[in-house]
Amino acid sequence: MQNWLNWFKRGQSVSISKLPSFEDISELRGKKVLLRAGLNVPVKDGKVAEFFRIEQALPTIKYLQAEGAKVIVIGHIGRAPEESLEPVYEVLRDSVGAKWGGELSSQTALLAEGLGEGEVLLLENVRRDPREVKGDDSLSAELADLAEVYINDAFADSHRDHSSIVGIPKYLPSYFGASFIKEYTALSSALEPTKPSLFVIGGAKFETKMPLIEKFSSRYTQVFIGGALVNDVFKARGLPVGKSLTSDIDLTKSDILTKSNIILPVDVITSSPSGRRTVKPEEVREDEMIMDVGPATIEMLSPYITSASTILWNGPLGNFEQGFVDGTEGLAKSIARSQANSIVGGGDTVASINGLHLDDDFSFLSTAGGAMLTFLETGTLPAIEAVLKR
């Protein structure tokens, strides 16, 4: 058990005291614990294809097992309600001896009651019940009836007002798990970076990320905008973007265009029917789409990365789905060589780092995408408010 406690305590800060921790539960032996875990992992051919989020859930589960709790695990997977957590069950069966509980029904309470000390029961995808995404309190109450204590260890899902996230704390004493607290602590430190600092933001949907760019441009020494986001900035500056993906937003009067600490790519990789090209932003043709940043951009960022004390990065620099990964991977390798406190989030971004086997070269890899952005923008999440309100 001590190994799992050491895992949890590494990097602990005063921010941790603000959240009720799983360690605060005085007596767990024989107690039924409802654990909301982050289990939304990619599945290919019926098997889990990437284990990062499951690995982050294991310390809390193993801690509860060692303390003799009866652990009922709930979570979701995928976007479609018909998707199943059975592939995740196979992993948890092998790693913690989990039992399969299936969908919530009249028999679930009997299965939970029949658990022995240290045993684990995994229930089916909670989103199969339409009440989950509606935030229906009746589902929250049914889930709460299964246990005596609730622990939220699903930071990546905690920006949503779903029944298993914000509803259960109304009915049970509620705490946060090891992974959640590590996320909270790391991202809290990113809100007040040690300077010089660099914030890298990629991905798409400028309208959703504009408040974050505006906020962090006053907190970070440098802010680099990449991914499809930069297309909107190029467009507002009068540069050609061809057929590139852009947002329904007008930045022509935005302060983002005039702030001296905002950095943009100096070259981009385009795609068109005639192939790929690496060009300067002003050289993009009408029939081309900007798909990635170019090598000169990664080289341009190198001195900022080398000198930074804090680096925060969310979102890929290129279109991952169509194979434009060079910019993201180049940035990952550059940051991995730095001595900065490096905090990274976003599914494609973390997947790239995992694929390069650079996990240990970063200070913290977040399980979250949208929840990370929400927390950085607001300093809290609906799940946190639900527990603190109780």
The Cα-based distances of 25 to 20, 56, 175, 323 in angstroms read: 9, 20, 8, 47
Per-residue pLDDT at 256:
93
Please state the length of the chain.
Answer: 390
Per-residue pLDDT at 390:
77
Per-residue pLDDT at 8:
39
CB 167 within 8 A of CB 353: no
CA 352 from centre of chain:
14
Per-residue pLDDT at 13:
37
Domains located in the chain, CATH noted: 2-184 (3.40.50.1260), 192-378 (3.40.50.1260)
Residue located via tokens 């921790």: 21
Question: 10 Å Cβ neighbour count for 20?
Answer: 19
Among 231, 365, 353, 368, which residue's Cα sits nearest to residue 288? 231
Per-residue pLDDT at 228:
96
**Can you tell me the distance from the alpha carbon of 28 to that of 70, in angstroms, rounded to the nearest whole number?**
8
Among 105, 135, 109, which residue's Cα sits nearest to residue 32? 109
Structure-token pair, residue 306: 């080398």
Per-residue pLDDT at 1:
39
Structure-token pair, residue 257: 């265009």
Please state the pTM of the whole predicted model: 0.89
Structure-token pair, residue 62: 């193993």
Low-confidence ranges of the chain (pLDDT < 50): 1-17
**Can you tell me the distance from the alpha carbon of 304 to that of 318, in angstroms, rounded to the nearest whole number?**
20
**Can you tell me the distance from the alpha carbon of 9 to that of 186, in angstroms, rounded to the nearest whole number?**
12
Q: What is the 3-state secondary structure (H, E, C) of the chain?
A: CHHHHHHHHCCCCHHHHHCCEHHHCCCCCCCEEEEEECCCCCEECCEECCCHHHHHHHHHHHHHHHCCCEEEEECCCCCCCCCCCHHHHHHHHHHHCCEEEECCCCCHHHHHHCCCCCCEEEECCHHHCCHHHHCCHHHHHHHHCCCCEEEEECHHHCCCCCHHHHHHHHCCCEEECHHHHHHHHHHHHHHCCCCCEEEEECCCCHHHHHHHHHHHCCCCCEEEECCCHHHHHHHHCCCCCCCCCCCCCCCCCCHHHCCCCEECCCCEEEEECCEEEEECHHHCCCCCEEEEECHHHHHHHHHHHHHCCEEEEECCCCCHHHCCCHHHHHHHHHHHCCCCEEEEECHHHHHHHHHCCCHHHCCEECCCCHHHHHHHHHCCCHHHHHHHHC
Structure-token pair, residue 119: 């045993």
Question: 10 Å Cβ neighbour count for 383?
Answer: 27
Per-residue pLDDT at 7:
37
Per-residue pLDDT at 18:
79
**Can you tell me the distance from the alpha carbon of 257 to that of 42, in angstroms, rounded to the nearest whole number?**
38
CB 120 within 8 A of CB 98: yes
Per-residue pLDDT at 12:
38
